[in-house]
């Protein structure tokens, strides 16, 4: 058996990536993600969820207290603009690019492919180009059918549609895009949603430009955000970080404060390997995210393979949120929530020496001391303070 050969449900690097797939595993159907269900599942759809989606048009945005005022929704909605333009362009074909379908290419594959004699050097070049376009992290891993959606969604009627990639795709380039720390500190607020929107708009630009570069080299490249496959396990397999209780990937450089996009390609590339950092051991003694969640959507205790509703993948042992409760809170706020990111002890500026020292402690057997040192951190910054330049 070669290093990369797989049995249907397991992969040689699973243990290192912290991935445990059980016998009843089933690939995820995108129709079941909580955002898609809000359009077809009457147990999820409500006036509240309709108002949530409508609030991304300023005339339908509600007004409440600090952080939910006109300027907060205006900034949030503006931050989404680039992503919105991209995702709306295929509406008449039922294709919501970047969310319910892969991003359609704007650049043809060059008729003559540049020879790649050294996949390792090519990987280094791709990472350099990814940084040039603005990605904060880049890792590379093989295509893994387990994480590909069994079907995608036709947004004209929310029916299932084939989720096919071009022939010969074998690699996935995973990109990380950090979110603005000052805005994240103001969750929950519509203002904080500007950090999410700006990250999506940036990733839409970066992922399409990097895919266009690869296509200009003469290779297939399919740019992808939340569509086509689950990016979290790909990020783990690409060695970008470790899975945490708050369902995020904690990275050494940015903690959980970033989003991921991906490119499917047949460009010959060297693969990165997963890394055990010690995050799972830290999460085993920490419940700050679960404690802070206003609707108690995050789990306590060790990872389990219990499927918490159809919006969770079946047959993977992990920490899994209650997506219905979580999205219910988003809908009630008319904006996204990431309190569980804000309060996480790994949400720090690791450019600073004292935070790097804390990280070393947190990922060592002295993790309880690191958790104790974190007490009192992660408090919400008032959105008005951000507008005054104080956050």
CB nearer to ligand SF4: give 37 or 146. 37
CA distance 83 to 204: 6
Q: Does 282 bind ligand SF4 (CB under 6 A)?
A: yes
Nearer to ligand SF4, 222 or 331 (CB): 331
The yes or no reply on residue 271 touching ligand SF4 (CB under 6 A) is no
As measured in angstroms, the least distance from the Cβ of 309 to ligand SF4 is 13
**Which is nearer to ligand SF4, 138 or 244 (by Cβ)?**
244
Determine, following the binding rule CB under 6 A, whether residue 53 of this chain makes contact with ligand SF4: no
| Using rule CB under 6 A, residue 297 touches ligand SF4 | yes
**Under rule CB under 6 A, residue 288 binds ligand SF4:** yes
337: contact with ligand SF4 by CB under 6 A:
yes
Site for ligand SF4 in 341-370 (CB under 6 A): 343-346
Q: Which is nearer to ligand SF4, 339 or 391 (CB)?
A: 339
Work out whether 326 is an interface residue with ligand SF4 (CB under 6 A). yes
Please pick, from the candidates 179, 190, 217, 298, the single residue that binds ligand SF4 as defined by CB under 6 A.
298
Q: Residue 96 or residue 348: which is nearer to ligand SF4 going by CB?
A: 348
Select the residue interacting with ligand SF4 from 185, 240, 249, 283 (CB under 6 A): 283
329 forms part of the interface with ligand SF4 (CB under 6 A): yes
Contact positions vs ligand SF4 (CB under 6 A): 244-246, 282-283, 286-289, 293, 295, 297-298, 321, 326, 329, 337-340, 343-346
């Amino acid at each position: 058996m070669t290093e990369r050969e797989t049995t249907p449900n397991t992969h040689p690097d699973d243990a290192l990536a912290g991935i445990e797939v059980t016998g009843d595993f089933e690939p995820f159907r995108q129709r079941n993600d909580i955002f898609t269900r809000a359009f077809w599942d009457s147990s999820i759809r409500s006036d509240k969820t309709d108002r949530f989606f409508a609030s991304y048009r300023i005339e339908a945005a509600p007004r409440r207290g600090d952080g939910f005022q006109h300027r907060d929704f205006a900034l949030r909605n503006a931050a989404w603009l680039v992503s919105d333009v991209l995702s709306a362009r295929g509406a008449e074909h039922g294709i919501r690019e970047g969310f319910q379908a892969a991003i359609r290419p704007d650049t043809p594959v060059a008729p003559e492919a540049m020879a790649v004699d050294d996949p390792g050097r090519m990987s280094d070049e791709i990472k350099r180009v990814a940084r040039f376009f603005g990605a904060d992290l880049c890792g590379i891993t093989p295509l893994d059918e387990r994480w590909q959606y069994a079907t995608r969604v036709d947004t004209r009627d929310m029916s299932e549609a084939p989720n096919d990639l071009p022939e010969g795709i074998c690699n996935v380039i995973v990109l990380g895009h950090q979110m603005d720390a000052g805005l994240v500190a103001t969750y929950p607020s519509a203002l904080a949603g500007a950090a999410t929107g700006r990250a999506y708009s940036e990733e839409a630009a970066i992922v399409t430009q990097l895919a266009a570069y690869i296509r200009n080299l003469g290779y297939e490249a399919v740019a992808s955000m939340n569509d086509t496959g689950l990016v979290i396990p790909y990020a783990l397999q690409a060695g970008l970080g470790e899975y945490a209780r708050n369902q995020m990937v904690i990275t050494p450089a940015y903690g959980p404060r970033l989003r991921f996009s991906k490119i499917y390609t047949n460009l010959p590339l060297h693969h990165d390997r997963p890394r055990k950092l010690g995050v799972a051991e830290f999460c085993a003694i920490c419940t700050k995210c679960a404690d802070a969640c206003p609707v108690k959507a995050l789990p306590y205790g060790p990872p389990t393979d219990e499927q918490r509703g159809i919006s969770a993948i079946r047959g993977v042992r992990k920490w899994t949120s209650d997506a219905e409760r979580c999205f219910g809170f988003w809908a009630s706020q008319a904006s996204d929530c990431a309190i569980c990111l804000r309060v996480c002890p790994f949400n720090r500026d690791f450019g600073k020496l004292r935070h790097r020292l804390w990280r070393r402690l947190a990922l060592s057997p002295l993790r309880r001391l690191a958790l104790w040192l974190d007490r009192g951190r992660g408090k919400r910054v008032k959105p008005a303070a951000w507008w005054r330049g104080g956050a």
